[in-house]
Amino acid sequence: MTRDDPSMPAHSRSESVPRRRLLAGIAAAGTAAVAGCAGGESNSIAPVSIDDDQACDQCGMIVADHPGTVGQVHFEDDEPEGGRPAQFCSATCTYTYRFDAEDAGRTPLATFLTDYSAVDQEVFEEGGDTMFSSHVESEAFARETALTVVARSEVIGA
């Protein structure tokens, strides 16, 4: 979603979002968005750090270069990812890839997204858009089922 997106109210396109308001929004909204995604995740699976030059398995963008939430999905068979979890530049790419893989018969064991309560995130303005930092280290991830996912926020980062 960009500041030129006609679905965004004009007043939302250039306003700055205070850090506390961002955290409150992340903590308070969207729980139902992931309620149906719980599945039978294995508790023994842990997130891994994403290499700085790793391309998103969905869109090809370099994960570390994209602002906002990043993700990874561990599948029962780690192919075609080459023995590693599938890794993504955004929550949108994470869910798109995961759901397409499930439709193709693959079994996801665990899905992880950035846990902004566990990192020292940075909120910044770029080109009139408010964005927040991405984090690719393993400690920055939590299971999606333990997180609240926010959609249609004033902050850019899919």
**pLDDT tens, per residue, the chain with 158 residues:** 444 545 544 444 444 555 555 554 554 444 334 444 444 556 789 999 999 999 999 999 999 999 999 999 999 987 667 789 999 999 999 999 999 999 999 999 999 999 999 999 899 998 998 888 999 999 999 999 999 888 777 777 65
**Within-domain flag for 47:** no
Q: Give the chain's domain count.
A: 1
Q: Are 58 and 93 in contact (CB under 8 A)?
A: yes
CA nearest 147: which of 33, 67, 16?
Answer: 33
**Within-domain flag for 34:** no
- Residue 97: which domain range? 54-152
**Within-domain flag for 78:** yes
Cα-flanking dihedrals φ and ψ of residue 86, to 5°?
A: -70, 140
Measure Cα distances from 104 to 32, 48, 72, 112 in Å.
Answer: 25, 24, 18, 20
